[in-house]
Structure 1
Amino acid sequence: MSTIDRRGFLKSVAALSAAGAVAGCSTTNNASSVLTPKSKGKSVMGLVVPKMDVVRIGFIGVGQRGSGHVKHYTNIEGVEIKAICDTHVEMLDKSIDFVVKKGLPKPARYTGSDHAYREMLTRQDIDIVIISTPWKWHTPMSVETMESGKHAFVEVPAATTIEECWQLVDTAERTQKNCMMMENVNYGRDELMVLNMVRQGLFGDLLHGEAAYIHELRWQMKEIDESTGSWRTHWHTKKNGNLYPTHGLGPVSQYMNINRGDRFDYVTSVSSPALGRAAYAKREFPADHERNQLDYIAGDMNTSMIKTVQGRSIVVQHDTTSPRPYSRHNLIQGTNGTFAGFPNRIAVETPPPAIEAIYENEYAKTLALWEKDGSKGRKPRKPSFHGWDRDMEKWRAQFDHPMYVRMGEEAKRNGGHGGMDFLMLWRMVYCLRNGEPLDQDVYDAAAWSAIFPLSVASVEDRSNSKNIPDFTRGAWKTGKPLGIVS
């Protein structure tokens, strides 16, 4: 807060909120018609900020997600939890008490109104702010965080309109502050392993990817007054498209170097009928219950297809309604083979020498048993790309990501979606303390989040394609691909 005083800051964010509201009213059905605004700053591609001996953290929102982040940060070296803000007093006090019980200094407490966080943002002893609130708050809180001189780390999606995507980009470039959407799936063991496989050229030249968020969440409709379902359910009554694209899309985007050598070009989207939530409400709630008065318009299954400038294709699906197993797809296909998740399986034409040796040894044993048995039945075939290899241990032995090799056991001990939450938070702090660029930047936040409003626009327009803005303003052509860090 060296350049503006507290009163001036509160006036500036009030004006910013009003400007955002006006911009939001300008959205057309063709969301891709929004023009590329002229930058008022400089690119934050590869942004490196001064090293922080200690990362001082403030939290906005400590519900189901934010409270977990607080717990993880009490187990990460080099951080201080300075303040916590939430309108839900019970959850706020639980997080504060947890910090104190861990033997750490008591964080400052902010509550009382939807905008209590603004008072927290005037503090000069906070470096980064973790934002874990309902979606409608993500962009305004991130923008105001950067305006206050702090780095913003926000839950997914970072934005729900194209205008909001540009607000994030423009503010980050003008303030030279980080704005990272915390896409935790990028830090899953399998996703990190596949990234390492891609970087080592295992699949050859990349052609196609598939991503998804298929997760039956109808039960959240029973959360009426609080928790995620109290607000997330209503998005199914407002928009028909891919409401939540980033969990599967984030890793595939990193595999394909999106915004770092390639970028999204356009998207087309189709939705199935919207039947499941109305049927669930009719079955689970009284006829006069508010859940039975809602008009659910979001198709139970949305399928969107993205074309990149380099010609690659990506399928992205969303379904939080249908009774089916969880899946993020996590498929990447190239000229030498394919990896697919849920369950994990791999098929390559030319395996690496160590894997080829294992295949030859396994085939020799199988062939010997067949011959010993009097050559009964069909002769065994050598392993090839015509069949999936589902034994991942040998692949992990060669391709486990070095960061997971180093931190995987600690991540599993601390938990959070199998450890990916902890590993993400640890990595954020590591980068800030060591003067390294973050693994995800504001351009990723904007591009991945933009599929939400653009898929809605496509569905509304009989699935015609919608252009995806170049949020990097051309910097993708020289952006450095995400490396394999140890």
Structure 2
Amino acid sequence: MNEQTPHAPSRRQALGAAAAVGAGLGAGALGGPSAGTAEAAVPAPASAPAGTVAAPSRRGATMAGVPFERRSTVRVGIVGFGNRGGSMIGHFLSLPGVRVTAVCDPVRDKAARASAKVTAAGQPAPALYTNGENDYEKLCARSDVDLVYVATPWDSHFAIARAAMLNGKHVGVECPVAMRLDELWDLVDLSEQTRRHCMQLENCCYGRNEMRVLRMAHAGKFGRLLHGAGAYNHDLRGLLFSPTYYEGPWRRLWHTRMRGDLYPNHGFGPVATYMDVNRGDRAVSISSFGTPALGLAEYREANVASGDPSWKESYTGSDRTISLVQTARGRVIRLEHDVSTPHPYSRVNSLGGTRGVFEDYPARVYIEPDHQDDRWGDFSAYAAEFDHWLWKDHANPPGAHGGMDYLMVYRLMQCMRLGLTPDFDVYDAAVWTAPLPLSDASIKAKGAPQEIPDFTRGEWAAARSGVDSVKPA
């Protein structure tokens, strides 16, 4: 979607919504895992972070474990056709039992190109919504849409997800699902009240390495889990200053507003899944630190003409943020974010326990008794036994990012058609996104720990299935 220079994000002002449920506040008692879990509980830190408050009262039943309604055809409305939405529509169109019935983007040419893809796939022409930034509201109100897929600039994610659920639609949102803690709580409450799923579409959870490590972890290959790490370290300097890649400067401008981890989901999602966060463990606090903001200004000086509007911008976002997340069972997760300095791409993606460790980029593993003499082992040797059934069924999935985009869409559509519980729910979306505002607060407080709310309101202690589910018959 098109976006001019954004104001400080406040979705309630834009929508005229109800009063905030506690902007910027953490929530919930720390608690421990339920009796009978595979690993003994490790006590949570003795002192909770400052500012601990009770979770808002639940106004609807939990959405944990709630299946979709079974349907023969999933009707999808797509909002946003920049780089992400334009590339993802093909995956929806490639699957049987899926129809794209409506598309929305204020840039009419982008919506028209999306419509042409729909008709080229042999489907009826979708309804077009191109009348300004808020035309998504009409798409969400349609009776022939079951799922709203959101691929717009970050600042609009919350508003569109909210409109979708209020109109009785399930919604899948690209990262991050929202930008503020009060918005995350609102999405949790709305999902519970409307009985609609609100999902963070975290494609990295469907990566082949990530899914293999997940199955190995759940099989006990790493022993009792102790630590993990994830990151989004991706040199985006050229794209952030490109006049054509993004629709306006919206993504770069976030580096003028916040110092924290702007994109925690790609790193946090897979590691949280390995550790059964929200399914037997939970993230309780985060401490973050950030470097000076130098990279974007230096790149601009070397590569951008002096008359460019970007020269009016002052960058305050840390070039690299490093965060430590503590879980209720005493585990530690390290998160990193760096899009402003030169370096090879890495999501870090590591997991360690009492029997061994996996590290990615490059993929390597050391597990006792399989390996010895402090020498890394061949991770591919575990493919036959531990590759996820999604990867066994789709050995060479199409599309970008090594095929994980396709598998994410395939699996979501499968769950909706068969009436299965989604692999990830609104609680996962909220927890994976919470480091965004909380890391900013921690860095500004010189690393002081910030509480990660218990968005599940106590449901996290119960073990339940997720993406490591059994292949449907």
Same fold (TM over 0.5): yes
Q: Distance in 1 between matches of 2:13 and 2:263?
A: 29
Contact 1:146–1:152 (8 Å) recurs in 2: yes
Return 5+ residue gaps in structure 1 as ranges: 1-12, 352-382
Name the aligned partner's letter for residue 270 of structure 2: P
Is 1:42 the counterpart of 2:61? The answer is yes
Q: Which of 422, 443, 456 is 2:440 aligned to?
A: 456
Q: Distance in 2 between matches of 1:436 and 1:243?
A: 32
Partner residue, 1:305: 324
* TM-score normalised according to structure 1 size: 0.87
Q: Distance in 2 between matches of 1:101 and 1:135?
A: 30
Is 1:186 the counterpart of 2:205? The answer is yes
Contact 1:53–1:433 (8 Å) recurs in 2: yes
Q: Distance in 2 between matches of 1:34 and 1:320?
A: 34
Q: Which of 222, 228, 240 is 2:259 aligned to?
A: 240
Partner residue, 1:357: none
Aligned pairs, number: 438
Partner residue, 2:385: 398
Partner residue, 1:386: 374
CA shift for structure 1 position 400: 1.1
Is 1:438 the counterpart of 2:457? The answer is no
Is 1:23 the counterpart of 2:23? The answer is no
CA shift for structure 1 position 33: 5.4
Contact 1:349–1:385 (8 Å) recurs in 2: no
Q: Which runs of structure 2 are paired with 1:222-301 in the superposition (5 Å)?
A: 222-224=241-243, 227=246, 230-301=249-320
Name the aligned partner's letter for residue 17 of structure 2: A
Q: Distance in 2 between matches of 1:122 and 1:94?
A: 23
Deviations 1:338-384 (A, max 9, x none): 01100000001123xxxxxxxxxxxxxxxxxxxxxxxxxxxxxxx51
Contact 2:68–2:422 (8 Å) recurs in 1: no
Structure 1 pair 214–128 and aligned structure 2 pair: CA distance change class (3 A): same
CA shift for structure 1 position 289: 2.3
CA shift for structure 1 position 288: 3.6
Q: Distance in 2 between matches of 1:304 and 1:408?
A: 35
Moved more, 329-338 or 399-408: 399-408
Contact 1:220–1:228 (8 Å) recurs in 2: no
Name the aligned partner's letter for residue 384 of structure 1: Q
Partner residue, 1:113: 132
Return 5+ residue gaps in structure 2 as ranges: 1-10, 27-48
CA shift for structure 1 position 50: 1.8
Partner residue, 1:469: 453
Partner residue, 2:29: none
CA shift for structure 1 position 229: 6.4
CA shift for structure 1 position 25: 9.5
Q: Distance in 1 between matches of 2:307 and 2:293?
A: 20
Structure 1 pair 93–282 and aligned structure 2 pair: CA distance change class (3 A): same
Larger Rg: 1
CA shift for structure 1 position 91: 1.2
Partner residue, 2:91: 72
**2:362 aligned counterpart, secondary structure:** coil
CA shift for structure 1 position 186: 0.5
Partner residue, 1:104: 123
Is 1:420 the counterpart of 2:404? The answer is yes
Moved more, 204-213 or 290-299: 290-299
Structure 1 pair 89–226 and aligned structure 2 pair: CA distance change class (3 A): farther
Identity of aligned residues (%): 38
Partner residue, 1:314: 333
Q: Distance in 1 between matches of 2:404 and 2:245?
A: 26
Q: Distance in 2 between matches of 1:225 and 1:425?
A: 27
Name the aligned partner's letter for residue 407 of structure 1: H
Contact 1:431–1:438 (8 Å) recurs in 2: yes
CA shift for structure 1 position 49: 2.4
Structure 1 pair 386–228 and aligned structure 2 pair: CA distance change class (3 A): farther
Partner residue, 1:131: 150
Is 1:485 the counterpart of 2:454? The answer is no
Q: Distance in 1 between matches of 2:428 and 2:51?
A: 17
Moved more, 450-459 or 58-67: 58-67
CA shift for structure 1 position 326: 0.5
Structure with greater proportional helix content? 1
